[in-house]
A and B are shown apart, each in its own frame.
Chain A
Amino acid sequence: MAINPASPTPSMFRKKPSSAMSTAASYLSAVSKADARARGLNGGSTTSTPALSLSSSVTSSSEDTVLHEDIGDSADGLYYPSVPPTSEQVFTTVHTEFGHCANESYRYTSRHTPGEPVKGVVEQDPPYYILITTYVSYLLVICIGHLRDFIGKRFKPSAFRHLMTQDGYAALNSDFDSFYTRRLKSRIDDCFSHPVTGVPGRTILLLDRYSTDHNVTFQPTGTRTRGLNISSYNYLGFAQGDGPCADAVEESVARYGVSACSTRREVGTLDLHLQAEALVARFMGMESALISSMGFATNSTIIPALVSKGCLVISDEFNHASIRYGVRLSGANVRMFKHNNMQALESLLREVISQGQPKTHRPWKKILIIVEGLYSMEGTLVNLPALLELKKKYKFYLFVDEAHSVGAMGPHGRGVADYFDVNPRSIDILMGTFTKSFGAAGGYIAGNKALIERLRISSHYSAYTEAMAPPVLTQVMASMASIMGVTIIPETKNSSSLSLLHSSNAIPVPVTNLEATAYPGTAPSTALPNWVSLPPSLCDGSDGRMR
């Protein structure tokens, strides 16, 4: 699909009626050519139909990947596409890592229809017989667990030593505290922490294991199983060992090594950090942004710098653990509202503003509402338009955690603000992670310049946490540019990164006058390091759009 010229309106996921295939003849010749090459490379291991042997293994770069060590049953579509792919892009990706949507009618634009009321949370209470049987099963398992504890402690005390007081040491974890983990969760432990290998892409390679002692320990069998991967947070398929992003990361490892070796406020600030932060700000349509090296720590180290004693945090009851952790560190008061319930929120707001701080009744210094864009555990979407209406009236500050929605929602992949077509700058703080849609790690905070500078000075993140590693920064920039598309701007002076740094001393904002305020716009090539190679599919945004 890369051969297709860029569509006038750059939008990912959009339904496009025009076929990506240029002619039927070119497709057929491509298929036969690939088939011949595949035969030549794979020797006798070709499959029955020519179409099935059109595997990704023809690309030279992927031959030595771990993915081709064991070629399994080709009929399940895990190793070879079961339908002949219709684009030449398939030759640049590995089928096991990235599945192409060959059928244009499957594409869907994620966008909120203006005016349509946002769907509330659907109560999904199970029928009573399920509830009752579940509780009975729980009861049964709990009873058996206690029975086993009772008998075990008397007949096999060695296995329970760590749960009991011994030699004057209190138990590290009491048997009561760890009961759930030991007796309930351990029964299904084979589902968790499964070791995997290779790219967590379209498919994932599991390292098989078995347990002889009821899931206390696991032994590897040495075999592997490939499964279709619907568990990794790889929304756009940027988890790849091939392609323009991986090429850029390879280049950055060669140039920068793997670490920045310090904190951002000391000497861990590289030119890459500044460039990546500027690109993130541009992607989000915000004035400024900062990047933290761990998604969890983005919330837990930055929320304490936003609010303090005398402030109030109003938090959705289903917010992520990192938000709760950060709020607890901040020392601010916390109130919760019913998940996504805007009426409950409004009545709570009226109460807290009128009552003020507990006991003293002084007015709150600030009220910060923290919500998630797309709730990680429920999959529900925040009612952003209603929230912004409330914001106008009640003057609170809004913090949206877009860990799951950024990149994956909205016609341009810019998250919930894009999805609801609201101005991102009407939200005070946009937070998100790079782990999910961008196939990297870490997180960002985007907001206005004053806010970001304040956070750089007084948050834990800048003074104590390690700066983000250069390869991760490069993955972020390359995948982001791939979604945005890149406008080639002829280089004016010497090295772009240097000239940027010379132009303004503190935090350079490398946007050209050409489209300084365009949102959602493309990334100017000067915003990327000049050593990143820019294949055409990345520049015209089709690489990101086709994901």
Chain B
Amino acid sequence: MSATTSSLEPLFTILSYSYATLETNFYKLPGSSVVARYVKSSHQNDPGRTLLEVFLIIFAIRTLLQSRTRADNSGKHFISFDEKEIDELVDEWTPEPLAAELSPKEQAELASIPVIVGPTGPKPKLSNGKTVLNLASYNFTGLAGNEDIKQSGVETLRKYGLGSCGPPGFYGNQDVHIQLEKDIADFLGTESAILYSQAFSTISSVIPAFCKRGDLIVADRGVNFSIQKGLQISRCTVRWYDHNDLNSLEQVLEAIEKERQKKRSPLTRRFIVTEGIFDHDGAMSDLPKLIELKLKFKYRLILDESISFGSVGRTGRGLTELYNVPADQVDMLVGSVANGLASAGGFCAGTNIVVNHQRINGTSFVFSAAMPALLTVAASEGISILRNTPSILSTLQENIRAVRVILDRVDCISIPSHPASATIHLHVKLPSPMHLSPRVPPPSPSLSSSSSGKPSNPLSPTPREAPQFDAELEEKLLQDVVEEALAQGVLITRAKRLRGQELNDIRPSIRLAISAALNKKDCEKAANVVKAAFVKIVGRQRR
């Protein structure tokens, strides 16, 4: 017994010696006493505490070392295979084709897209050699083909070249862009504006720049696709109100406020998102009421004026001019330079804070090249033309009236658009809902059981009483109308939408876009052609 102890004696001495040197050396290190004190205080004669700390440190190191792109093979759903099995599974797997073949209907649709040879304008020439009256292009103010714009465009080309060759953050920010942003802000009467290089990508970037997860958006059920995508990207909570029904909006806002007070949840950013003139049907928002509600409930307003900017108001400033509401009442006023000024791109106008925030957070502003200088100058020129010639907008309104007078009275057309809207949507009006073929399913099965009269569920984008229509049949009829009108020399188009990708099924329509470049006679002639085509095609269907 003692023999073993004595034999271990040198070992113990070495151990105690090495421990002593280690300790003295440790205390020699600068700051070591702090560490020692920390360890002592956290240990507190309880090994469990030290163990916990050690675990925490190991866990932190493990998390840090783990790659972000590691394979996820730890979940409970993971099935482990050996290499041979994986090889077999790989061989076995056959993917779907990348692109599904076009159906005959889709092919027909593709073939029916008109091709304009030469410039677009009030009377473009089509690929079949025919010159037609154009009631389809977004050329409200007739700026397309304007000689002054062309000339300043060429001058800009010689000074700046074509492309800007860089995103705005990195030397793509040319003086012409700054000028156009200033022009838009001055034109609308806001502090500042920011220019995006594509109209569609504007609001789908503006919304996620401000609204994050946890924020609240109250949106119209009929908002356009770009807004829908912006809402999807932003991942915030969305509540819906009935299309262009501000009473419904008020109810939703009240319900939200009640709920918030009940739950005492913290205040988050809250927005109302809607359109000035709706892309889907041409209906117009009641801006003064909207502003009143937003101020009452303390929401910020994101207003998409892609259609209304450059088409309503005395000089085309949009809804704010029409209703005589100061533009700074709208927190984020989004518009389309492509539609309103017959150039390209989009903008968001607001306060300096709103605009500067987007210069770093607006995804498609930051990560995309700035617009070509030529198009920017064309838009600036367009604004100065609109400012100086209010007669353009009065001509446009006269043309709209001329067309509406003829089309309003046709009994197989229903028009949801506002009388002042430059886009006029024409729906097929069939005699009675009995006409609908029985194979049309109800839009949502959950709705069929509900009693009418109750407000729609704000959580769901589908309204309680979704309009019933036979999209396929109506699309076909409308396409026939388009072709009939084209044969008579009037270019119109169906409003093209991605059915199935939109939140709600939108009733098919023919979208007319009235232009100030046409004279009244042409408009009347074109409207009569459209009317005749409708009567012929839809009338045949009725019989």
Residues 426-467 of A, flagged 1 when their CB comes within 8 A of B and 0 if not, give 001100011110111100000010110111111010111110
Chain B contacts for A66, CB-based, 8 A: 159
Question: Provided the pairs A260-B120, A265-B496, A464-B225 are in contact, do residues A294 and B201 lie with their beta carbons within 8 angstroms?
Answer: yes
Cβ contact within 8 Å between A196 and B173: yes
Let me know if A8 is at the binding interface, CB within 8 A.
no
A-contacting residues, B361-391, CB 8 Å: 363-364, 366-369, 371-372, 374-375, 378
A266 to B279 CA separation, bound complex (whole angstroms): 14
Chain A contacts for B511, CB-based, 8 A: 266
Checking A185, A194, A348, A434 against B163 with a beta-carbon cut-off of 8 angstroms, the contacting residue is: A434
Cβ contact within 8 Å between B163 and A438: yes
A-contacting residues, B413-440, CB 8 Å: none
Question: Provided the pairs A170-B270, A271-B118, A465-B199 are in contact, do residues A457 and B102 lie with their beta carbons within 8 angstroms?
Answer: yes
The list of the 4 closest CB pairs from A to B, nearest first, reads A454-B99, A296-B368, A294-B198, A261-B137
Cβ contact within 8 Å between A475 and B163: yes
Chain A contacts for B494, CB-based, 8 A: 266
Binding stretch for chain A, among B13-21, B149-157, B393-401, B524-532? B149-157
A60 to B109 CA separation, bound complex (whole angstroms): 50
Task: Specify which of A167, A192, A368 lies most central, judged by the most chain B CB atoms within 10 Å of its CB.
Answer: A192
Closest Cβ–Cβ distance, residue B512 to chain A (whole Å): 11
Let me know if B229 is at the binding interface, CB within 8 A.
yes
Checking B111, B338, B364 against A296 with a beta-carbon cut-off of 8 angstroms, the contacting residue is: B364
Chain B contacts for A136, CB-based, 8 A: none
A497 to B129 CA separation, bound complex (whole angstroms): 11
Closest Cβ–Cβ distance, residue B4 to chain A (whole Å): 49
Let me know if B300 is at the binding interface, CB within 8 A.
yes
A305 to B135 CA separation, bound complex (whole angstroms): 30
A454 to B106 CA separation, bound complex (whole angstroms): 9
Residues 222-255 of A, flagged 1 when their CB comes within 8 A of B and 0 if not, give 0000000101111000111110011001100111
Residues 457-478 of B, flagged 1 when their CB comes within 8 A of A and 0 if not, give 0000000000000000000000
Task: Specify which of A201, A253, A350 lies most central, judged by the most chain B CB atoms within 10 Å of its CB.
Answer: A253
Question: Provided the pairs A265-B113, A366-B96, A466-B200 are in contact, do residues A350 and B86 lie with their beta carbons within 8 angstroms?
Answer: yes
A463 to B63 CA separation, bound complex (whole angstroms): 45
Which chain A residue has the least Cβ–Cβ distance from B73?
Answer: A351
Cβ contact within 8 Å between A242 and B158: yes
Closest Cβ–Cβ distance, residue B502 to chain A (whole Å): 10
Cβ contact within 8 Å between A195 and B174: yes
Cβ contact within 8 Å between B342 and A463: no
* Chain B residues touching A, range: 35 or more
Closest Cβ–Cβ distance, residue B276 to chain A (whole Å): 17
A450 to B81 CA separation, bound complex (whole angstroms): 37
Closest Cβ–Cβ distance, residue B77 to chain A (whole Å): 6
Let me know if A469 is at the binding interface, CB within 8 A.
yes
B-contacting residues, A331-359, CB 8 Å: 335-338, 344, 347-351, 353-355, 358-359
Closest Cβ–Cβ distance, residue A213 to chain B (whole Å): 13
Chain B contacts for A470, CB-based, 8 A: 119
Let me know if B268 is at the binding interface, CB within 8 A.
yes
Chain A contacts for B364, CB-based, 8 A: 294, 296-297, 300, 322, 325
Let me know if A165 is at the binding interface, CB within 8 A.
yes
Closest Cβ–Cβ distance, residue B228 to chain A (whole Å): 10
Let me know if A317 is at the binding interface, CB within 8 A.
yes
Cβ contact within 8 Å between B233 and A250: no
Residues 349-362 of B, flagged 1 when their CB comes within 8 A of A and 0 if not, give 00001100101100
Cβ contact within 8 Å between A441 and B136: no
Closest Cβ–Cβ distance, residue B496 to chain A (whole Å): 4
Cβ contact within 8 Å between A204 and B171: yes
Cβ contact within 8 Å between A441 and B163: yes
Closest Cβ–Cβ distance, residue A312 to chain B (whole Å): 10
Binding stretch for chain A, among B41-49, B52-60, B139-147, B236-244? B139-147
B-contacting residues, A488-539, CB 8 Å: 497-498, 501-502, 505-507
Chain B contacts for A502, CB-based, 8 A: 127
Cβ contact within 8 Å between B150 and A257: yes
Checking B121, B298, B353 against A257 with a beta-carbon cut-off of 8 angstroms, the contacting residue is: B121
Let me know if B488 is at the binding interface, CB within 8 A.
no
- Interface residues, chain B, CB within 8 Å of chain A? 67-69, 71-73, 77-79, 81, 85-86, 89-90, 93-102, 106-107, 109-111, 113-121, 127, 129, 134, 136-139, 144-146, 149-150, 153-154, 157-166, 168-176, 178, 197-201, 204, 210, 212, 224-226, 229, 232-233, 267-270, 298, 300, 336, 338-339, 342-344, 353-354, 357, 359-360, 363-364, 366-369, 371-372, 374-375, 378, 491, 493-498, 501, 511
Chain B contacts for A317, CB-based, 8 A: 68-69
A172 to B206 CA separation, bound complex (whole angstroms): 13
Cβ contact within 8 Å between A439 and B157: no
Checking A258, A266, A361 against B493 with a beta-carbon cut-off of 8 angstroms, the contacting residue is: A266
A426 to B37 CA separation, bound complex (whole angstroms): 65
Cβ contact within 8 Å between B111 and A505: yes
Question: Provided the pairs A258-B342, A267-B491 are in contact, do residues A253 and B171 lie with their beta carbons within 8 angstroms?
Answer: no
Question: Provided the pairs A193-B169, A267-B493 are in contact, do residues A325 and B150 lie with their beta carbons within 8 angstroms?
Answer: no
Let me know if A293 is at the binding interface, CB within 8 A.
yes
Chain A contacts for B199, CB-based, 8 A: 465-466
Chain A contacts for B157, CB-based, 8 A: 241, 246, 249-250, 253, 471
A64 to B137 CA separation, bound complex (whole angstroms): 36
B-contacting residues, A267-322, CB 8 Å: 267-271, 274, 293-297, 300-301, 304, 306, 317, 320-322
Chain B contacts for A266, CB-based, 8 A: 136, 493-496, 511
Let me know if A259 is at the binding interface, CB within 8 A.
yes
Checking A262, A348, A451 against B98 with a beta-carbon cut-off of 8 angstroms, the contacting residue is: A451
Cβ contact within 8 Å between B137 and A498: no
Chain A contacts for B204, CB-based, 8 A: 300
Let me know if A30 is at the binding interface, CB within 8 A.
no
Checking A162, A258, A349, A506 against B110 with a beta-carbon cut-off of 8 angstroms, the contacting residue is: A506
Closest Cβ–Cβ distance, residue A459 to chain B (whole Å): 8
Cβ contact within 8 Å between A469 and B110: no
21 A–B contacts from the bound complex (CB under 8 Å): A61-B158, A171-B269, A172-B357, A200-B165, A231-B171, A238-B163, A256-B120, A258-B144, A269-B113, A271-B127, A325-B233, A359-B77, A366-B98, A367-B95, A395-B93, A397-B95, A428-B98, A440-B372, A466-B338, A470-B119, A498-B127
Let me know if A173 is at the binding interface, CB within 8 A.
yes
Cβ contact within 8 Å between A258 and B170: no
Let me know if A148 is at the binding interface, CB within 8 A.
no
Task: Specify which of B107, B200, B339 lies most central, judged by the most chain A CB atoms within 10 Å of its CB.
Answer: B200
Cβ contact within 8 Å between A162 and B360: no
Question: Provided the pairs A261-B120, A440-B372 are in contact, do residues A296 and B367 lie with their beta carbons within 8 angstroms?
Answer: yes
Let me know if A40 is at the binding interface, CB within 8 A.
no
Closest Cβ–Cβ distance, residue A136 to chain B (whole Å): 16
Cβ contact within 8 Å between B115 and A471: no
Closest Cβ–Cβ distance, residue A375 to chain B (whole Å): 14
Closest Cβ–Cβ distance, residue A368 to chain B (whole Å): 8
Checking B100, B267, B501 against A454 with a beta-carbon cut-off of 8 angstroms, the contacting residue is: B100
Cβ contact within 8 Å between B498 and A463: yes
Checking B69, B146, B162, B359 against A337 with a beta-carbon cut-off of 8 angstroms, the contacting residue is: B69
A523 to B510 CA separation, bound complex (whole angstroms): 40
A214 to B178 CA separation, bound complex (whole angstroms): 21
Cβ contact within 8 Å between A471 and B374: yes
Checking B107, B162, B200, B367 against A464 with a beta-carbon cut-off of 8 angstroms, the contacting residue is: B200
Cβ contact within 8 Å between B175 and A233: no
